[in-house]
Structure 1
Amino acid sequence: IIRNHRLWEVFLVQKLRFNWDEVHEIAEELEHITHHQLINRLDEFLGFPAFDPHGDPIPSANGEIQPAQHVPLHDLQVNEKGLVAGVKESSNSLLQYLDKIGLKIGSACFVVEHIAFDNSVEILIEKDKKVIISREVARNVLISPQAN
């Protein structure tokens, strides 16, 4: 059921252009369609994705899960960069906030400064948008670190 749910989330985001904060409830209903041939063809149609729109791994048809090598954005040091790979908490309010500031799965981000006063983090998104995010947000955004 986890595999079905996550594949349906990918389908809804990539093919039907739902926002990542809109798909969980719809996928909850679709995940109960368990026809193996349909799910396998959906997987193939989507290009065999390894992760859902929230960055959670999608089990293969035989149940194997690819381990993720993601770290919280808050753990990156100043001048380190990475790609947004997912979120720890997928609450609608967090996902809507991330959409609002332009931080999406696959977005490149660069740590400009860790602000000692409140542990917030100043980041540069896609080389052109500076934002300061709270410690809580930075701990919930998962990053795939990139070499500098």
Structure 2
Amino acid sequence: MPSPAQTSSPAADDYLKTIYHHTEWQDRRITPSQLAAVLGLAPSSVTEMVKKLVAQGLVAHRPYGPIALTADGERRAAAIIRRHRLIETWLVREYDYTWDEVHDEAEVLEHALSDRLLDRIDDRLGRPRVDPHGDAIPDADGHVRRERFVLLRDAEPGHRGSVLRVSDRDPELLRALENAGLHLGCRIEVLGAHEVRIQDAAAITIPDGALDAVWLTL
């Protein structure tokens, strides 16, 4: 798989990563307006970049329709995602970063590391399957393995499952969840709309935003 650091621009990478992220944990494709909102860009800027990515064969898009990665776009996005998530895992395991600190560091480093160093890091870490937030790390061929899951908002009262993934979008929420005792792999019993029991302890009210940021095993 070619190195993203050698074959793409950071701006194009951000688009491909965002499109890839959007359908990792749900099936609806991203629209241009959603893409603009996530990236914090003007719709006109997004339209121009999407046209460029279409011309490069990396995305498929028709006017007024959603955006999808092509096979080439999927491979390139997976390579970028792999770099980012391996770096996050490396920083947590080797340098004692916390899960709310690693995203911005990985954004900087993902374009700087060589493929050789990245592979050494992967080997040293034991070829991890998930990053510190539970997101799947694509292998060198771009393949990922995921368990069946349910978003906490959609989990029925009485559901019991392990925390499979926590969104890294809001560092403050990550800190609040950690303070509440919630971490990857811990067992959760859903008691109500905003109430859960963690590891069979006393019931707690979960922080705002957690319903749409925590995924459980089925």
Q: Shorter-chain TM-score: what band? A: 0.7 to 0.9
Counterpart among 117, 120, 130 of residue 203 in structure 2: 130
Cα RMSD after superposing both structures: 1.9
Distance 1:25 1:136, change over 3 A: closer
**1:77 matched to 2:77:** no
* Equivalent position SS for 1:41: helix
What displacement does 1:10 show?
0.7
- Structure having the higher helix fraction is 2
Partner of 2:29: none
Partner of 2:101: 22
Q: How many residues align?
A: 139
Give every structure 1 segment of 4 or more consecutive aligned residues whose post-TM-superposition deviation is greater than 6 Å: none
Partner of 1:108: 187
Matches of 2:181 and 2:105, distance apart in 1: 24
Counterpart among 87, 99, 111 of residue 32 in structure 1: 111
Higher RCO (C-alpha under 8 Å, 6+ residues apart): 1
**1:12 matched to 2:85:** no
Partner of 1:42: 121
Give identity over the alignment, percent: 37
Distance 1:32 1:129, change over 3 A: farther
What displacement does 1:38 show?
1.5
Matches of 2:97 and 2:113, distance apart in 1: 22
Counterpart among 172, 180, 188 of residue 93 in structure 1: 172
Matches of 1:20 and 1:51, distance apart in 2: 13
Matches of 1:29 and 1:58, distance apart in 2: 18
Matches of 1:105 and 1:90, distance apart in 2: 16
What displacement does 1:33 show?
3.0
| One-letter amino acid of the structure 2 residue matched with residue 82 of structure 1 | G
Of structures 1 and 2, the larger Rg is shown by: 2
Partner of 2:212: 139
- The runs of 5 or more residues in structure 2 that have no matched partner are 1-79
Q: For the Cα contact (< 8 Å) 2:173–2:207, is it kept in 1?
A: no
Q: For the Cα contact (< 8 Å) 2:103–2:168, is it kept in 1?
A: no
What displacement does 1:15 show?
2.5
